[in-house]
A and B are shown apart, each in its own frame.
Chain A
Amino acid sequence: MIPVKYNVRNLRVRWVTTLMTVIGTGLVVWATVLTFGLVDGLDHALRISGDPLDLIVLRKGTTEETSSTIDQRVAKEVANLDGIAQDSAGQPMCSAEYVTILTKPRRNNGGTTNLIVRGLQDVGRALRPGFRVVRGRDVRPGLNEAITSQRMAERFENLAIGEKLEINKVNFEVVGYFEAAGSSAESEVWTDLRDLTGARRTPEALSAVNLRARDEAAMASLLKRIREDEQFKLDAMDEPAYFERQMTASIAIKFVGYAIAIFLTMGAMFAAANTMYAAVASRGREIGALRAIGFSRRSILTSFLFESVLLCLLGGLLGCLATLPFNGLSTGTANWATFSEITFAFRFGPSVLLRGVAMALAMGLVGGLFPALRAVRMPIISALRET
């Protein structure tokens, strides 16, 4: 086995080439990890929104809250079903909600997009993961007040505390910011159910019912009961399944992300191969000498492969470090399932970084394989004779 020192020293001697290749590979890994971080952030925002015991009840035939309408009477009957969990006050954890989308402008001339506004009552808050008001206060029903997340306030006009959001010519004052564990609730503006339906001039309107089942058996029976009742004409699904569906709508972004990663990695692979071929070419005599003193073909092959991998891993490390400033940076895009904006944060978790490192590894291995093979194929005599 050729000692690792040999490779490290060689990289140091040809430091200009090494530096350029490391930076080049680093940039590629940076772009790739950034893409994966974006996709992961979007995924997380959707996945964490689903509690396994929560059910979302919609009109039969719809798959999104934004396109569903439910009768008040039916919603009341659903609230009386057996199997719904009860909160500490003994009330069923069943929330009738009205969801609408408004076209509103983003800050900094970011164009307009669709905003989800949800009207709900107190009980709905317990159904979201980790809901808590972090600044200001919660809404008081009847006063046309609204709350939203800090992220949304930063992204959209008229959503900061004290500002007024206009809904159908009624002004709703934003009175507080809330958090909900980074789930999709943080991409919405919340207000009181009656205030919203009043502003929309549709006092009896409801979009969906959110409820929590007592346990798994109760959930299964509730699902069956709601779906099969002829009078209801409703469909129910557990929250994870509901959000899973929204993720498939954003599959386009994932596809683009992977396509970008693959193209860039292949480009970098050729670049790494180029560097290694040059390295092998200029070290012909060295290789001949190593062979002459007894190192086997295999150890030379491994050594060059290792050098290539080391080069790319250094670049990979640099690239991953360069993404750190982006960690937690929030951004938003269109959720084509609900046809409105979803905000999320870049997430560089271990799986994302690992994928970046794996790509760097692949670059090094595949890029370095053929040059390494060439290194060992040279006959010793001609190698020693090279200038």
Chain B
Amino acid sequence: MHTLFYIWRNLKRNKLRSALTILSIGFSLALMTVLHGYMAMQGEWGKEAEKYHRVVVMNSQGFSGQLPIAYVDRITSTAGVQAATPYAWYGGNYKEEQMPFAQFGCDSKTVFDVWDEFTIDPQQLAAWRTTRNGCVVDRRLAEKRGWKIGERIPLQGTFYQFNLDLVLCGVFDSPKNTDSLWFNWQYLDEGMRAMNAPGSGNAGTIFARVASADVIADVSQAIDDRFASSDNPTRTQTEAAFAQMFTDMLGNVQAYIRNIGLAVVFSLSLVAANAMAMSMRERTTEIAVLKAIGFSRRRVLVTILGEACSITLLGGLLGIVIGSSCLEMLHRLSSQLFPFSVLEMLGPWLLYLLATSAGIGLASGIVPAVRAAQLSVIDGLRRVV
């Protein structure tokens, strides 16, 4: 306990230096918090998806391939599948904004079976099922935009030639903000056919709910086998793997982020070591006196190391606080890129950051600490700084 008190007093001794070191470490670790937080969110997204036993079916060629709507029924009849819905990404513009939120065409009769963790008022659901051009949105999206039931939501098609004129029929609640709008796939398809536009009858992707986790692999294989020799062969994967595909698209950027992190950590160790060395240079006589009155070598070592670690840990905490506020702000701004709020994300990655700061403290403090511990009392008392 006394050691901690002594450490604290030493930190306060040169407040300016301590403050600058803490700020320096804090800002750099704030950056690392944001970067690692972003990567943790992507990982979390995948893990969340695993809970719900959903698989995603797409054309094996990729997004530009067709997935005939007839596949939905055949997938539903596959053993192990509880429900399936087409899920076509519309990607439309709303007023002046380009693709401001996700828009999907799906089957109103089955979509809430596939996403059974979402809840919707039964009357609103019934209204949506009977309104050809109806749509439902995530409650948070409706609140953000100030939409009321009955609101008209026109969307201009970008790669679909048919523009949608939608009416809001209901709002659904989901555990995470999906920022999505769901409309009736039939409405889009009929419109496309009326225009004789190519690309009608395309389900885009198909999301299916599987009975339990252990049959997922078998079901995916069964679906792919079924369509393997058709004109439009499929590729079925878990929802988590599907999300991972998007993260993969970022490519080398992840490796780059990690390397930046390493460079920052190394640089910070030098900064902290510098500050500790400067501080120790001034205190040689003091350390000698401490040893003369009976402080053991080990105690001196522990005290100095403790001081170094305290500074870096304080810096780390500051960094985490700043970084987390930035992450929260980014989450409010763009929940597509930053799907989770920081409060939901508390996890091992934060501990990893704290451990990193402690590690920096150890690395920076070890040399001054050992030198102080080895210091000969006579030389120390004699030294004129």
> Which A residues are closer than 8 A to B by beta carbons?
16-17, 20-21, 23-24, 27-28, 30-31, 34-35, 38, 59, 61-64, 66-69, 100-104, 106, 110-114, 167-169, 201-202, 205, 252-253, 259-260, 263-264, 266-271, 273-275, 277-278, 331-334, 339, 341, 387
Contact = CB atoms under 8 A, between A and B. Distances in A.
A20 B270 contact: yes
A66 B159 CA distance: 8
Contact of B263 (A31, A275, A339): A31
B28 interface: yes
5 contacts: A20-B273, A20-B274, A111-B251, A270-B21, A341-B251
B157 interface: yes
B27 interface: yes
A35 B259 CA distance: 11
B89 to A, nearest CB: 10
Contacts of B247: 111
Contacts of B274: 17, 20-21, 24, 271, 274-275
B156 interface: yes
Contacts of A266: 27
Interface in B132-163: 156-159, 161
Contacts of B5: none
A274 B63 contact: no
B252 interface: yes
A113 B248 contact: yes
Given A68-B159, A277-B20, A267 B263 contact: no
Nearest to A331: B252
Nearest to B25: A267
A232 to B, nearest CB: 14
Contacts of A259: 31, 34
B256 A167 contact: no
Nearest to B273: A20
B57 to A, nearest CB: 13
Contacts of B277: 16-17, 20
A34 to B, nearest CB: 8
B198 A17 contact: no
Contacts of B278: 17, 274-275, 278
Contacts of A112: 245, 248
A59 B161 contact: yes
**Which secondary structure dominates chain B's binding surface?**
helix
A303 B158 CA distance: 62
Nearest to B249: A334
Interface of B: 16-17, 20-21, 23-28, 30-31, 34, 60-65, 91, 98, 156-159, 161, 198-199, 231, 233, 235, 244-245, 247-253, 256, 260, 263-264, 266-268, 270-271, 273-275, 277-278, 337, 384-385
A67 B271 contact: no
Given A112-B245, A264-B264, A271 B253 contact: no
B61 A114 contact: no
A273 B64 CA distance: 55
B258 to A, nearest CB: 12
Contacts of B21: 270-271, 274
A94 to B, nearest CB: 23
B23 A270 contact: yes
B236 to A, nearest CB: 13
A27 B266 contact: yes
A61 B264 contact: no
B271 A111 contact: no
A266 to B, nearest CB: 5
A168 B61 contact: yes
A327 B144 CA distance: 45
Nearest to B157: A61
Contacts of B384: 387
Given A31-B260, A100-B64, A102-B61, A271 B271 contact: yes
Contacts of A21: 270, 274
Contacts of A264: 27-28, 31, 264
Contact of A101 (B24, B63, B253, B385): B63
A23 B270 CA distance: 8
Contacts of A30: 263
A62 B260 contact: no
Given A62-B158, A274-B17, A332-B251, A111 B245 contact: yes
Contacts of B62: 101-104, 114
Given A66-B159, A253-B253, 16 more contacts: A17-B278, A20-B273, A23-B267, A24-B271, A27-B266, A27-B270, A31-B264, A61-B158, A69-B198, A260-B260, A264-B31, A268-B24, A274-B24, A274-B271, A274-B275, A334-B249
